């Protein structure tokens, strides 16, 4: 590690190795999203509650993809296309930090030796994300269908079965050395690799940010989640309103404010996003409430929480106040819902920068 000597025109020169990513994302299995706006009749046909995320078998995923074409919502300029892109909560957050905020970011995980795997790696590369920690493996890459209703609410059906993923014993010290933050998502199927990554992160002084994934995940695997939170190893936790309520289900005051108090007992920063009502956050004894951006027209809520996390983490690494972190998160979360999918378009990054200027926030040192 360090420097590498190169010879050019007979003279020795020194090329410094690239700096370690400031923020790392752990997404054990690379994932491709297929996003489309659909009518309610398709949502009625598929099992599970609307608005959530439930794993399905490959046969069910292929069935939904076949049905999509008959249920796509028409727009003013014809039927909306199905958008296919690198997906997954952590990938969305890391891609946003890199492409919209200019933060040096990297991904840890694995992708298959198939077309979807190549698409995932290529999409992250183009967004400026360091992919040297992604392992290419023989096998298939995970996929997810994101069904967006007429009001912008999304229902997700991921297919993770048989998909390649990175294992805890494959992680190395080199994956974490020199970084400041590790971004992970709670998942019952990733407990072992998440715990291995957290242990290694803590050994290298890397702070850990956790997203609570979905209300179903919190509901069905609440006990291991509470154990993870109460371990004190999570520095920053993001929950949406539904996840926050699930976290305290059965208790007398199972509401977002009580969940914020619970999370803040164990995490240095706790954030609960409230959709159109903005967010509440706590750090130490400070509590802030920040409204959502009224100008954000919701086409698709996919990635809203993920991109909120991008903005909030950008604020933290830049040393902004708790309120400013929430305001930047509100701007970035508002930018992604203006188009289909969890990737912000160049036009919507420009929209976000204008919103940040309006709120008196300094702009990232980046040109889109």
Strand extents, DSSP E, the chain = 3-8, 11-16, 23-29, 31-37, 74-75, 78-79, 83-87, 105-112, 134-137, 142-148, 154-159, 181-185, 207-211, 236-240, 269-273, 279-283, 286-290
Of 80 and 271, the structure prediction assigns the larger pLDDT to 271
CA distance 313 to 236: 9
CA distance 69 to 67: 6
Q: How confident is the model at residue 75 (pLDDT cuts 50, 70, 90)?
A: low
CA-CA-CA-CA dihedral for 308, 314, 317, 321, to nearest 10: -70
Mean pLDDT for the stretch of residues 207-227: 95
- Number of Cβ atoms within 10 Å of the Cβ of 204: 15
Do residues 163 and 64 lie in contact, with contact meaning Cβ atoms separated by under 8 Å? no
The tally of CA atoms less than 13 A away on the side-chain side of residue 187 is 20
CA distance 15 to 125: 21
Average confidence score pLDDT of the chain: 91
The confidence score (pLDDT) of residue 47 equals 83
The confidence score (pLDDT) of residue 7 equals 42
Q: Convert the pLDDT of each residue in 157-179 to its tens digit.
A: 999 888 999 999 999 999 999 99
Q: Convert the pLDDT of each residue in 96-114 to its tens digit.
A: 999 999 999 999 999 999 9
Distances (CA, A) of 18 to 21, 94, 103, 362: 9, 18, 14, 26
Do residues 85 and 336 lie in contact, with contact meaning Cβ atoms separated by under 8 Å? no
The pair of three-digit structure tokens given for residue 183, joined into one six-digit string: 């971004």
Question: Which residues lie closer than 8 Å to 223 by C-beta, 6 or more apart?
Answer: none
The pair of three-digit structure tokens given for residue 163, joined into one six-digit string: 């998909």
Q: How confident is the model at residue 277 (pLDDT cuts 50, 70, 90)?
A: very high
Of 341 and 91, the structure prediction assigns the larger pLDDT to 91
Do residues 142 and 166 lie in contact, with contact meaning Cβ atoms separated by under 8 Å? no
φ/ψ of 269, rounded to 5, equals -125, 135
Do residues 35 and 78 lie in contact, with contact meaning Cβ atoms separated by under 8 Å? no
The confidence score (pLDDT) of residue 189 equals 84
Of 275 and 233, the structure prediction assigns the larger pLDDT to 233
The confidence score (pLDDT) of residue 79 equals 58
351, pLDDT greater than 90: yes
Mean pLDDT for the stretch of residues 339-358: 94
Q: Quote the percentage of the chain above a pLDDT of 90.
A: 73
Mean pLDDT for the stretch of residues 306-320: 97
The confidence score (pLDDT) of residue 297 equals 72
């Amino acid at each position: 590690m360090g420097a590498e000597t190169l010879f050019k025109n007979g003279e020795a020169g020194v090329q410094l190795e690239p700096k370690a990513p400031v923020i790392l994302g752990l997404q054990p299995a690379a994932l491709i999203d297929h996003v489309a706006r659909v009518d309610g009749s398709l949502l009625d046909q598929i099992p599970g509650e609307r608005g959530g995320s439930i794993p399905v078998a490959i046969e069910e995923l292929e069935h939904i993809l076949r049905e999509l074409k008959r249920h796509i919502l028409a727009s003013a300029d014809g039927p909306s296309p199905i958008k296919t892109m690198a997906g997954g909560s952590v990938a969305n957050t890391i891609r946003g930090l890199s492409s919209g905020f200019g933060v040096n970011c990297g991904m840890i995980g694995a992708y298959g030796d198939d077309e979807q795997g190549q698409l995932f790696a290529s999409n992250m590369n183009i967004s400026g994300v360091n992919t040297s920690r992604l392992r290419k493996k023989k096998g298939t890459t995970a996929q997810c269908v994101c069904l967006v209703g007429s009001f912008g609410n999304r229902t997700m059906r991921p297919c993770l079965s048989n998909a390649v993923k990175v294992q805890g014993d494959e992680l190395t010290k080199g994956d974490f050395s020199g970084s400041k933050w590790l971004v992970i998502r709670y998942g019952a199927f990733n407990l072992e690799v998440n715990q291995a990554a957290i242990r290694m992160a803590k050994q290298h002084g890397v702070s850990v940010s956790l997203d609570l994934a979905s209300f179903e995940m919190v509901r069905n695997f609440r006990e291991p989640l509470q154990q993870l939170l109460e371990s004190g190893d999570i520095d920053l936790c993001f929950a949406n309103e539904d996840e926050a309520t699930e976290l305290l289900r059965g208790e007398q005051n199972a509401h977002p404010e009580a969940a914020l108090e619970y999370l803040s007992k164990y995490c240095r920063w706790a954030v609960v996003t409230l959709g159109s009502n903005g967010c509440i956050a706590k750090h130490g004894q400070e509590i802030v409430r920040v409204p959502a951006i009224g100008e954000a027209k919701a086409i698709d809520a996919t990635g809203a929480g993920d991109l909120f996390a991008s903005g909030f983490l950008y604020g933290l690494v830049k040393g902004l106040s708790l309120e400013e972190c929430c305001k930047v998160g509100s701007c970035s979360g508002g930018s992604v819902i203006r188009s289909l999918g969890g990737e912000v378009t160049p036009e919507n990054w420009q929209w976000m920068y204008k919103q940040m200027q309006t709120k008196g926030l300094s702009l990232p040192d980046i040109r889109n």
